[in-house]
Amino acid sequence: MRPVIPYVTAALLFGLGVYGVLRRRNAVLVLMSVELMLNAVNLILVTADTTARAVLPHSGQVFALFVIVLAAAEIGVGLAIVLQLYRLRATVAVDDVALTEPAHPVDRREPAVLDREAGR
Amino acid sequence: MTGADVLLLAVGAVAVGAGVLVVTTKHLVRAGLYLVVCLGALAGDFLVLSAELVAWVQVLIYVGAVVVLLLFAVMLTRAPIGASDDLDRPGWPAALIGGGAGLGLTVLLVDAYRWGTVALPRAGTAERLGEQIFQSWVLPFEVLSVLLLSALVGAIVLSRPDIGRPGPGADPAAERPGVDVETGGRR
């Protein structure tokens, strides 16, 4: 088995993930690119498990499992943030998000709640 | 070139090709489906590298759960069916940085490993990995369970609109004209 093949695959996938994170405007596509990067790291960990003889056997694969768990947690919280952003701003384009607070305070509650209050 | 090398080359090519399509396609839903192909090819890579358990966990969690969640998010944000033109921003910096990172890592790893061969280790079955996790890696395992719990609670708090709002004293509705102060508080 030649380890350079999966290593190069992982390096190219990581580059693709970086490209996608910087290029895409849609927040869901940015999350998909982050998944590509995390999987490239997983592939490197599993391949390193075959090339490096560590004191503890299978450490690389154990770490790959841990990274998979971390990615699952990340995607859960990330999607909650994306859906909340869509609910507040009706857009998921990451470069439409204001990085500073608006000068005059905006009521950021849901339109349905505001309607209910205005009708009272 | 042994059979394992040919297999690694084939699934690697599929993974990279599907990855290119994920970051370049104009269809939101298709990006998620290409991601399935890419992650499935990576699971094949893990199988060839004798990491059985990791491969099946990859299929279960990534292809089964994460991609389904991503597709849910695509649907919930009312993504248009068909090609959309506003998915990308003009990206020479992205191509430069992404290409630089990918090619830099490629050069580094090719230089480190050349065309040498290694023997495949014993297969990473569930039994062997379980022994390792529950003997040498128990503490990280437990910390990860706490982290999953906090991520769960965090996601619930983020997506419930009635949790974490400011109390009656700090409610911005109290300062708005036309809304009386008593109903401007907590709902």
Dist CA A85 CA A92 (whole Å): 7
Question: Is residue B112 a part of any domain in this protein?
Answer: yes
A9: alpha, beta or left, given left = phi > 0 and alpha = psi -120 to 50? alpha
CATH code of residue B99: 1.20.120.1200
Q: Does residue B166 belong to any structural domain of this protein? A: no
Task: With beta carbons under 8 A apart, name residues in chain B contacting A2.
Answer: 1, 5, 8, 113, 115-117
- Residue B50 forms part of a structural domain: yes
Q: What residues 143-182 of chain B have any CB closer than 8 A to a CB of chain A?
A: 144, 147-148, 151-152, 154-156, 158-159, 161, 165, 172-173, 176, 178-179
Percentage of chain A modeled with pLDDT above 90: 53
For residue B185, is it within any domain? no
List, for residues A68-102, the tens digit of each pLDDT value: 999 999 999 999 999 888 888 888 888 877 777 66
The answer on B30 and B118 residing in a single domain is: yes
List the Cα angle A79/B29/B85 in 5-degree steps.
100
Residue B48 is assigned to a structural domain of this protein = yes
Verify that B142 and B90 share a domain, yes or no: no
Task: Name the closest residue on chain A to residue B49, using Cα atoms.
Answer: A47
Determine contact, residues B13/A10, Cβ cutoff 8 Å: no
Q: Looking at residue B176, what is its pLDDT? A: 47
Q: Which of B3, B84, B109, B20 is nearest to A25 (CA)?
A: B84
In the CATH hierarchy, which top-level class contains the domain A4-119? mainly alpha
Do residues B107 and B32 both lie within one domain?
yes
Do B74 and B149 share a domain, yes or no? Answer: no
Q: With 70 as the cut, is the pLDDT of residue A113 above it? A: no
Establish if B178 belongs to a structural domain: no
> Domain check: are B91 and B38 in the same one?
yes
- Name the nearest CA neighbour of B38 among B52, B24, B51: B24
One domain for residues B119 and B156: no
Interface of B with A in 74-133 (CB under 8 A): 74, 76-77, 79, 86-89, 91, 93-95, 97-103, 105-106, 108-110, 113-122, 124, 128-129, 132-133
Residue B136, in any domain of the structure: yes
Domain shared by B91 and B116, yes or no: yes
pLDDT score recorded for residue A107: 60
Name the residue range of residue B146's domain: 126-161
Q: Identify the H or E element spanning A23.
A: helix A4-23
Same domain, B72 and B157: no
CA neighbor of A109 nearest in space, from B65, B129, B48, B176: B176
B134 and B115, same structural domain?
no
Same domain, B35 and B102: yes
| Per-residue pLDDT, B179 | 43
From first to last of its 187 residues, chain B has per-residue pLDDT tens of 788 999 999 999 999 999 999 999 988 889 999 999 999 999 999 999 999 999 999 999 998 899 999 998 888 887 777 788 777 887 788 999 999 999 999 999 999 888 888 888 888 899 999 999 999 999 999 999 999 999 999 999 988 877 766 655 444 444 444 444 444 444 4
Number of structural domains chain B divides into: 2
Residue B50 Ramachandran class (φ > 0 left, ψ -120 to 50 alpha, else beta): left
Same domain, B34 and B107: yes
Q: According to the model, what pLDDT value does residue B46 have?
A: 94
Q: Where are the alpha helices (DSSP H) in chain B?
A: 3-24, 28-48, 52-57, 67-76, 92-113, 126-135, 138-159
Q: What is the ipTM of this complex?
A: 0.83
Q: Is B186 inside any structural domain?
A: no
- Strand boundaries in chain A, DSSP class E: none
